[in-house]
Chain A
């Protein structure tokens, strides 16, 4: 079972470059989200989507864009990379009802901006 697949696993960018982090899930989950993980700060929500065509901002959305054209895919775009965006990025998905359901995470993308 593939679950949530993130690509790439590692990436180094120069300041000002743009790139897209890919996330795909094969569980037909409606809810998908992107988090960044920094030491001592847990996981912080960047953007989330409750279904195809619907996205919303989380805690730390600046510098990132998302779109959700299909149920399966939820790419995260960095418009102009900055050193402050150096982090580990996780994509997660869950079924519609959140209270008793689990968030399934990908393996993460470790991004370094130099």
Chain B
């Protein structure tokens, strides 16, 4: 069974602080995605990384795919209350399978 472990599980920070969320696995994935989920809603895609070592930036969010394509990180600079939510990584395995991580619940306090 392929597993994606995320850390930390919970994170509560003040507005303006920086943070990093990690997504780790012993398996190699074709690509890795990050989703954000708000209460009462389904997850929504933030980014897809495909190449080992790839770095993508989305405004204040920076995503990195590990060289071996087994792990990824999400860094948020100067967090804002609007960043509050559940962050999920998802490894794409084989042709059609998404393997989701355990999730990181972020709360940014104003």
Given A40-B103, A41-B102, A43-B88, are A100 and B45 also a contact pair (CB < 8 Å)? no
- Does B63 sit at the interface, judged by CB under 8 A? no
B42 lies within 8 A of A42 (CB): no
A42 lies within 8 A of B45 (CB): no
- Does B90 sit at the interface, judged by CB under 8 A? yes
Q: Cβ of B92: which chain A residues have Cβ within 8 Å of it?
A: 98-99
From A11-19, A70-78, A79-87, A102-110, the one touching the partner chain is A102-110
B40 lies within 8 A of A107 (CB): yes
Q: Which of A17-68 contact B (CB under 8 A)?
A: 31, 33, 35, 40-45, 48, 50, 58-59
- Of B6, B42, B44, B88, which contacts A108 at CB under 8 A? B42
Residue among B31, B43, B88, B90 with most chain A CB within 10 A: B43
Instruction: Kindly report which residue of chain A lies nearest to residue B89, judged by CB atoms.
Output: A42
Instruction: Kindly report which residue of chain A lies nearest to residue B103, judged by CB atoms.
Output: A42
CB distance from B79 to the nearest CB of A (A): 22
Query: A-side interface residues toward B, CB under 8 Å?
Result: 4, 31, 33, 35, 40-45, 48, 50, 58-59, 90, 92, 98-103, 105-108
- Does B50 sit at the interface, judged by CB under 8 A? yes
Instruction: Kindly report which residue of chain A lies nearest to residue B1, judged by CB atoms.
Output: A59
From B11-19, B53-61, B70-78, B93-101, the one touching the partner chain is B93-101
Q: Cβ of A105: which chain B residues have Cβ within 8 Å of it?
A: 42-44
B 37-50 binary contact with A (CB < 8 Å = 1; else 0): 00011111100101
CB distance from B91 to the nearest CB of A (A): 11
Q: How far is the CA of A35 from the CA of B103 in the complex (A)?
A: 14
Q: Cβ of A45: which chain B residues have Cβ within 8 Å of it?
A: 97-100
- Of B31, B40, B42, B50, which contacts A92 at CB under 8 A? B42
Q: Knowing that A92-B98, A103-B43, A107-B42 are A-B contacts, what are 19 other residue pairs whose CB atoms are under 8 Å apart, sorted by A's residue number? A: A42-B6, A42-B88, A42-B100, A43-B88, A45-B100, A59-B1, A92-B42, A98-B92, A99-B30, A99-B50, A99-B92, A100-B31, A100-B48, A100-B50, A101-B48, A102-B45, A102-B48, A105-B43, A108-B41
